[in-house]
Amino acid sequence: MPVSPLNRRDFVKKSAVTGAAVAVAGTAATPAAEAAERRPVKKNRTWTFSILGTTDLHSHVFDWDYYLDAAYSDKAGNSVGVARVATLVKQQRKAKGEEHVLLVDAGDIIQGTSLAYYFARVQPITGKGAPKHPMAVAMNHMRYDAAALGNHEFNYGIEVLRKFESQCRFPLLGANALDAKTLKPAFQPYTVKRICVPGAPDIKVGILGLTNPGIALWDKDNVGGKMVFPGLVEQAKKYVPRLRALGCDVVFLTDHSGLDGSSSYGDELPYVENASNLVAQQVPGIDAILVGHTHVEVPSYTVKNDETGEDVLLSEPYCWGYRLSVFDFELELVRGQWKVTRKTAQTLNPNTVDEDPEIKKLLEADHELVVKYVNTAVGTCTQDLSAVDSCWKDVPIMDFIHQVQMDTVKAGLSTADAALPLLSVAAPFSRTADIPAGSVTIKDIAGLYIYDNTLYGKKLTGAQLKDYLEYAAKYYHQVPAGTAVDTSTLTNANSFWDYMYDTAAGVDYEIDIAAAEGSRIKNLSYNGTSVADDQVFVVAVNNYRANGGSGYPHIAAADIAYSSTNEIRQLMIDYVTSKGALDPKDFAVTNWKLTQGGTPVF
């Protein structure tokens, strides 16, 4: 590592004292030599600058929860939205100087809230005379320098993404998003920014953007045959040397990829999902990486590069505007070239600052449009339906999802496939979801089904279905028979999060949490008869899971019996609208339960 400025000064002083002692021990110094010794040592020019980073904003502009129609609130006291982050950015620029600050994002910008959905589907930005996307307006106002593509950028199709790109005054970077036919970059791979230093060469900062290879699975319907997504390490090895050859003094990566080396899709792809740590370790020439995708806070993390031994600095600022990463760099001009002598990273919390009044002025009207939309009544419900217990009990609110999925797939099957037994699988996306008794609005349903998934029908055999359910059952920690079950510690074993855990409808089964993983599914039956290994089912499943999301066995390669571009959330809204009233008597069936050695847990 380069010697720190403080140590360098100590070294110069120590060297000067040693040199004087040698002179006294030898011959007497001449007057000219004494004058030279008194001459001050010329110091190299130094400079500092910062790169600020956000990630996984998911169209959170204001500190607002559209599903609850209220100001955002959580137990940790976090705030959400770029409007507050913008205030922190202004403070950083004021404290450090406008010319000393760059602003970068690590992706997942245009999906994730009702605001995102509204400007993609209700009043789409692709329409004639349509408004600009609120996130483009906000980020342009904040003067972002670059953003990486996130996997959710592709959820609404390439046309919406390209329109958003055209509205941004900064590049959307994706060095590993390639045209499927030419294998050339489909998006700009990198950008080079200049930090102006008066009386010295500019500091050239190369910013390389990398997105997630999982897009090839998760958004196969939107990108299949159009784009391919090779690995982060592979593309970084190609582009980092190019940035150095262009004379970049600092190489900074913005990765929509976590830093633990894991993949939720198993071996469905040859490329690692969360590869930022591997990039830092295996690709020489990188100074720092802004990390995204995994929705965690990592203020500062260091990885040593295998080839150079140099430390690479990483930081991940959580998600939704919860935090702002701040990378601070100190450089020294050595023989006409800038060298990084020190770098640090931290995260700042915007929950103590006010929202930027200019962003409020620019986007308050768009926000009010969305508030009005989500409060639109679509029908009524005969009783309160809560998801609070949905991760360990079969509850009616989940059966509502299953019923809509099965009804939709059933209506679209061929005559031959319609003769097969029909099932549904779905995950409890939100434990806080609640459809109240009385009036049901769009926000009530959107709060239950928070993703923009579409619907498939895929064929599985009985043996494959059992494998599928066994895979889902690893969601539970093992609790021996006779041991009390604590729901606060029961779930999310193996880093298997709620959105990854599927329950099934249409078959009866038990999950024995006292048994070892792989042997938990008991008494699997269809219409009172044990499921045969060679029995064939049509399974209603969302596109994310159908294309390999979360690594479930068999489903990605299974034959397709049905597919649609209609979003499941909208199908649920249409169901309520057509029925007029949501009544659990129409769909609620208790078909699965947790057991310990055959004894029901609840």
- In angstroms, rounded to a whole number, what is the distance separating the alpha carbons of residues 226 and 31? 77
How large is the average pLDDT for residues 155-166?
Answer: 97
Tokens at 160, concatenated: 């919406």
* 349 shares a domain with 251: yes
Q: Report if residue 214 sits inside a domain.
A: yes
The count of structural domains within the chain is 2
Q: Report if residue 13 sits inside a domain.
A: no
* 274 shares a domain with 393: no
- In angstroms, rounded to a whole number, what is the distance separating the alpha carbons of residues 100 and 94? 10
Domain boundary among 370, 397, 413: 370
* 517 shares a domain with 460: yes
The pLDDT tens digits of the residues spanning 37-66 come to 556 667 899 999 999 999 999 999 999 999
How confident is residue 30, by pLDDT bands cut at 50, 70 and 90? low
The pLDDT tens digits of the residues spanning 234-276 come to 999 999 999 999 999 999 999 999 999 999 998 899 999 999 9
Q: Report if residue 219 sits inside a domain.
A: yes
DSSP 213-226: TTHHHHTHHHHTTT
The SS3 assignment for 202 reads coil
Provide the domain limits for residue 320: 46-370
Asked if 390 and 399 count as a contact pair (C-beta separation under 8 A), the reply is no
* Orientation of helix 357-374 relative to helix 82-96, angle to 10°: 170
Q: Report if residue 473 sits inside a domain.
A: yes
* 174 shares a domain with 97: yes
The SS3 assignment for 321 reads coil
Residue 17 has pLDDT above 50, yes or no: no
Rg (CA), the chain: 28
The pLDDT tens digits of the residues spanning 372-407 come to 999 999 999 999 999 999 999 999 999 999 999 999
* 384 shares a domain with 346: no
The pLDDT tens digits of the residues spanning 551-585 come to 999 999 999 999 998 999 999 999 999 999 999 99
- In angstroms, rounded to a whole number, what is the distance separating the alpha carbons of residues 567 and 575? 12
Look over the chain and give the mean of its residue pLDDT values, rounded to a whole number.
93
Q: Considering the chain, what percentage of its residues have pLDDT values greater than 70? A: 93
Nearest to 217 by CA among 229, 235, 232: 229
- In angstroms, rounded to a whole number, what is the distance separating the alpha carbons of residues 217 and 239? 24
Domain boundary among 340, 370, 400: 370
To the nearest 5 percent, what fractions of the chain are helix, strand and coil? 35, 25, 40
Tokens at 227, concatenated: 């784009």
Tokens at 307, concatenated: 């080839």
* 550 shares a domain with 491: yes
Q: Report if residue 36 sits inside a domain.
A: no
Distance of CA 405 to the CA centre of its chain: 26
Asked if 287 and 1 count as a contact pair (C-beta separation under 8 A), the reply is no
- Tell me which H or E stretch contains 569: helix 568-579
Residue 8 has pLDDT above 50, yes or no: no
* Orientation of helix 134-142 relative to helix 82-96, angle to 10°: 10
Asked if 1 and 8 count as a contact pair (C-beta separation under 8 A), the reply is no
> Which residue has 């040592």 as its token pair?
41
**Distances in whole angstroms, Cα of residue 413 to Cα of each of 407, 465, 489, 567:** 10, 20, 41, 18
- Sheet with 337-348, strands from edge to edge, namely 172-173, 146-148, 101-105, 46-54, 324-334, 337-348
- In angstroms, rounded to a whole number, what is the distance separating the alpha carbons of residues 15 and 25? 16
* 273 shares a domain with 229: yes
**Exposed/middle/buried for residue 360 (C-beta within 10 Å: 0-12, 13-18, 19+):** middle
Adjacent-strand bridge partners of 379: 440
**Distances in whole angstroms, Cα of residue 113 to Cα of each of 12, 64, 298, 479:** 57, 10, 24, 36
Tokens at 544, concatenated: 């994310």
The pLDDT tens digits of the residues spanning 192-228 come to 999 999 999 999 999 999 999 999 999 999 999 999 9
Find the farthest-apart pair of alpha carbons in the chain and give their distance in angstroms, rounded.
Answer: 108
CATH code assigned at 575: 3.90.780.10
* 391 shares a domain with 312: no
Tokens at 84, concatenated: 């507050």
Asked if 105 and 255 count as a contact pair (C-beta separation under 8 A), the reply is no
Tokens at 284, concatenated: 């020489």
* 428 shares a domain with 287: no
User: What pLDDT does residue 25 have?
Assistant: 36
Q: Report if residue 2 sits inside a domain.
A: no
Residue 409 has pLDDT above 80, yes or no: yes
The pLDDT tens digits of the residues spanning 331-350 come to 999 999 999 999 999 999 99
How large is the average pLDDT for residues 526-538?
Answer: 98
User: What pLDDT does residue 43 have?
Assistant: 86
Q: Report if residue 39 sits inside a domain.
A: no
Residue 24 has pLDDT above 50, yes or no: no
Asked if 456 and 540 count as a contact pair (C-beta separation under 8 A), the reply is yes
User: What pLDDT does residue 34 have?
Assistant: 54
Domain boundary among 330, 355, 370: 370
Tokens at 108, concatenated: 């997942």
CATH code assigned at 242: 3.60.21.10
* 71 shares a domain with 213: yes
How large is the average pLDDT for residues 102-124?
Answer: 97
* Orientation of helix 357-374 relative to helix 134-142, angle to 10°: 170
* 187 shares a domain with 119: yes
* 386 shares a domain with 362: no
User: What pLDDT does residue 38 have?
Assistant: 59
Asked if 261 and 277 count as a contact pair (C-beta separation under 8 A), the reply is yes
The pLDDT tens digits of the residues spanning 314-323 come to 999 999 999 9
User: What pLDDT does residue 11 have?
Assistant: 29
Q: Report if residue 19 sits inside a domain.
A: no
Adjacent-strand bridge partners of 331: 47, 340
